[in-house]
Amino acid sequence: MVSFACKACVVFLTVFICNTVADIYLHVPRGSNNRLNEKSATRKNPNRLFDSQNNNRGGYNVGDATESPFGTDEGKQYRMKYFQSGPWKTLRQAKGQSYLTIEWTNQHGCGGNEDSSPQKQNCALVMQYMCQDDVDSPTGITDTLRNGVNTKKQDYTKPNRNNADSDRSNADAKSDRGLHEPWSWYNKCYLRERNKGLFVADQKLESDNGLGYSSAIYTRQNPNGNRYGYECPEERDYFPYWHPTPWKDIAVLAENASMCDHYTRKSFNVQPYGECVEDKGWSSYNNKAACESNGGTWKLLYNYLEKATDKTNKASCERTTTGGLTYKWAVPYDTDDYQPECLVLADAPECAEAPWSRSNHLGNGRDGVPLNYTWVLPHFPSGNAKRCVFRFRYNISTDDYDPYGTDHTQNNEFPQKSPIQQNPYVYVMSKQSPLRLAINTAQYGRIFQDRSHVFKLMPRPSGLTQDRIFNVNVRGKRGNIVQVYPAVEYDFAPNNLEVKKGERCNLLIHFLCLSHRDICPCVPGSNTHNNGNPAGDGQAGSAGEGKAGTDRNNMVELSDRGTNFPTPFEKSKLWQDVSVAWIYHGKTDISAKDLAINLASSGYYRCADDQSCPESEHTDYLVSTKTKMNNLLDNASPSYEGVLLRFQKKGVYNYMCSRNNNFTNRSQKAAIIVK
């Protein structure tokens, strides 16, 4: 093995941390980490939808819509719903925006690299999403976003030399399995030659995909071409990617804001990328020169927010300005026929320095606040409901080689050129007594990932297009702090929602708080968080209140956050001060008492007395006549449908969840502060 001679001292100081497991876990909205509905502490299938590289214990199950597990019916899963922003979003006014607080933990440090808090690696956090209309896709099950009802990954029938252009086999893209990227995305990745200009260190990448060449399914981090759902390994490992992708960029949080120009300029949101088109129906060429010199045509394809299908020519398309958005007559990335269509373009991603976090620690950032980013949800001018997935990648690299200036000329195929070798020996004492370093060249520079389950972005109710909406969610799952790790215990997020009157918006003196379907609201709860065996490298068990394995949340008022007894309705401030701007069951003119009962029962009851429900609804919704609710909410739904509360007075409104709050063991309390 190579001696690093003097360089060894430098290497020695930095490598230990670089090769441990590092992870990213998404807590709001809840990240799946490839889980679906497992009753075990560990996920069943790390290959289900995407390559997370995370610990098997992380992640949250998909929400259930009723008090029973969804079983084999995806319709009984609960999809989180958030209202889209109104049409004013892109005018950079606060008017009409919908804010979704994203919260996560990442195991290595990132951001805030100052003398007093130097970071030990380079990093970037990349947030993206994909959406489609919330109907089964016209192209069928090959690209309809879904969670599926079992934990198997989709199949992929490999093309062979004689029929590489063959269509999808019926065995692929099954309707009962989860699907994010469409089948065609992975198929193109499988057929496209990999980028041979990349640095792969001393990794030996598979040289034959079965068609006689090495394709984009092989990378330094995935040298054997393992498959995870229909994710393309090369695209997973590199950002910004150099081919069209199905993802829209939301934000990049970089180690240093000086990187931002690079990320925003190269984002597929703002510039087209090329793809080789050949008469035979598929192509292996991954660049313009090779494509054209072999008779192909290099087509530039565009990303888009959605298609404006009612605009059928360039002039009518490009003079549209609805919603302050840009419309472009261009060929979309998912085209069938390479004809231009009217595309509503996505905004450029936001870019900033990442919030500071500490190495080897899945915890909060500075001042004990959770690592967070506020996503201003998009506005879709079609007015259609959307079905979406959120994707979060965490990229760490070291200074042991220049991550941007090192390429294939330093791969080991050029004898021993790689600046890093697998577990090398270094000589710091004497030639007789080397020390071995822990270096895995497949993970030196490594990406981690988490994704949400499928959720919905709903058009705004009429009359509410200009209001700002702040989404309050529940994070966490059933179990004590050790049992849930590396997921988290229950809490509300954002925990202190502070809204300053007139701060970002001159016109509005009120704001709306949308709590959607899980009260203590907004995270969908599951009935299968039993956290049983196998528990991997952690503890099994689901300590908590109520029926084992079930999540339940409600929202009751609390006068003082230092106490644990809810405020009786007669003394309520919260319910008296708010009005209902929208509620899932449509009847907004409800009394404060009905609202309090609805939220305290997680939607189980709607009416306090005979007068507030029509008689026909008494058995379904009235406290005195409906089957009695379990006092730990066991027979209520784990997922609450949502309400928009309008706050019109200044004040501090505290609330808690009566079931999960258990002083000394678990606190589930939060505040909305209107200034």
Q: Does 665 bind ligand NAG (CB under 6 A)?
A: yes
Taking CA atoms, 427 is separated from 63, 291, 352, 438, 642, in Å, by 54, 48, 41, 14, 63
Output the CA torsion sign for 66, 67, 72, 77.
positive
Does 481 engage in binding with ligand NAG (CB under 6 A)? no
Q: Which of 162, 432, 611, 664 touches ligand NAG by CB under 6 A?
A: 664
The C-alpha atoms of residue 117 and residue 109 are separated, in whole angstroms, by: 10
Cis peptide before 29 (omega within 30 of 0): yes
Residue 76 exposure: Cα atoms within 13 Å on the Cβ side = 13
Query: By CB under 6 A, is residue 372 in contact with ligand NAG?
Result: yes
By C-beta, is 97 or 395 nearer to ligand NAG? 395
Residue with Cβ nearer ligand NAG (152 or 408): 408
Among 9, 21, 352, 369, binds ligand NAG (CB under 6 A): 369
Is the Cβ of residue 113 or residue 264 nearer to ligand NAG in the bound state?
113
Question: Does 397 interact with ligand NAG (rule: CB under 6 A)?
Answer: yes
On the CB side of 127, CA atoms within 13 Å amount to 29
Q: Tell me the torsion sign for CA atoms 428, 434, 436, 439.
A: positive
For the bound state, the minimum distance from the C-beta of residue 666 to ligand NAG, rounded and expressed in Å, comes to 6
Q: Which has the closest alpha carbon to 397: 387, 405, 408?
A: 405
Tokens 């506005």 sit on residue: 379
336 binds ligand NAG (CB under 6 A): no
Piece in contact with ligand NAG (CB under 6 A), picked from 10-18, 236-244, 287-295, 305-313: 236-244
Encoded tokens for 213: 């060449």
Give the residue ranges of DSSP H helices in 514-580. Answer: 574-577
Non-local (6+) Cβ contacts of 570 within 8 A are none
Closer residue to ligand NAG, CB minimum distance, 87 or 355: 355
Coil/strand/helix, residue 77: strand
Candidate residues 72, 116, 170, 258; the one interacting with ligand NAG per rule CB under 6 A: 258
383 in helix, strand or coil? coil
Q: Which of 256, 271, 326, 625 binds ligand NAG (CB under 6 A)?
A: 256
Q: How many CB atoms lie within 10 A of CB 208?
A: 10
Judged by CB under 6 A, the chain residues 147 through 176 that form the site for ligand NAG are none
Binding status of residue 393 toward ligand NAG by CB under 6 A: yes
| CA separation for the pair 509, 506 (Å, rounded) | 8
3-class DSSP assignment, residue 301: strand
Distance from C-alpha of 462 to C-alpha of 449, rounded to nearest angstrom: 37
Segment lying near ligand NAG (by CB under 6 A), choices 226-234, 235-243, 410-418, 638-646? 235-243
Does 491 bind ligand NAG (CB under 6 A)? Our answer is: no
Select from 90-98, 127-135, 287-295, 390-398 the region that touches ligand NAG (CB under 6 A): 390-398
Using CB under 6 A as the binding rule, whether residue 370 contacts ligand NAG is answered as yes
Which one of residues 187, 209, 395, 473 is an interface residue with ligand NAG (CB under 6 A)? Answer: 395
Query: How many C-beta atoms lie closer than 10 Å to residue 317's C-beta?
Result: 20
663 touching ligand NAG, by CB under 6 A: yes
What letter represents residue 623's amino acid? V
The answer to whether the CB of 652 falls within 8 A of the CB of 670 is: no
Nearer to ligand NAG, 186 or 373 (CB): 373
* Binding residue for ligand NAG, selected from 223, 363, 403, 434, defined by CB under 6 A: 403
Among 86, 159, 229, 355, binds ligand NAG (CB under 6 A): 355
Asked if 113 is part of the footprint of ligand NAG (rule: CB under 6 A), the reply reads: yes
Name the residue type at position 508: L
Stretch that binds ligand NAG, among 165-173, 294-302, 362-370, 512-520 (CB under 6 A): 362-370
For residue 445, state whether it binds ligand NAG (rule: CB under 6 A). yes
Segment contacting ligand NAG by CB under 6 A, of 203-211, 323-331, 618-626, 657-665: 657-665
Q: Does 250 bind ligand NAG (CB under 6 A)?
A: no
Sign of the four-CA dihedral 105, 111, 116, 121: positive
In this complex, which beta carbon is closest to ligand NAG, that of residue 365 or of residue 525?
A: 365
Q: How far is the CB of 396 from ligand NAG (least distance, A)?
A: 8
CB of 447 vs ligand NAG, minimal distance in Å: 5
Q: Identify whether the C-beta of residue 305 lies closer than 8 Å to the C-beta of residue 248.
A: yes
CB 456 within 8 A of CB 577: no
Q: Give burial (CB, 10 Å; 0-12/13-18/19+) of 152.
A: middle
Beta pairing partners, 273: 301
Q: Nearest distance from residue 665's CB to ligand NAG, in Å?
A: 4
238 is a contact residue toward ligand NAG (CB under 6 A): yes
Stretch that binds ligand NAG, among 281-289, 368-376, 413-421, 640-648 (CB under 6 A): 368-376
Contacting residues toward ligand NAG, per CB under 6 A: 101, 113-114, 124, 126, 237-239, 256, 258, 355, 365, 369-370, 372, 393, 395, 397, 403, 445, 447, 480, 494, 543, 545, 662-665
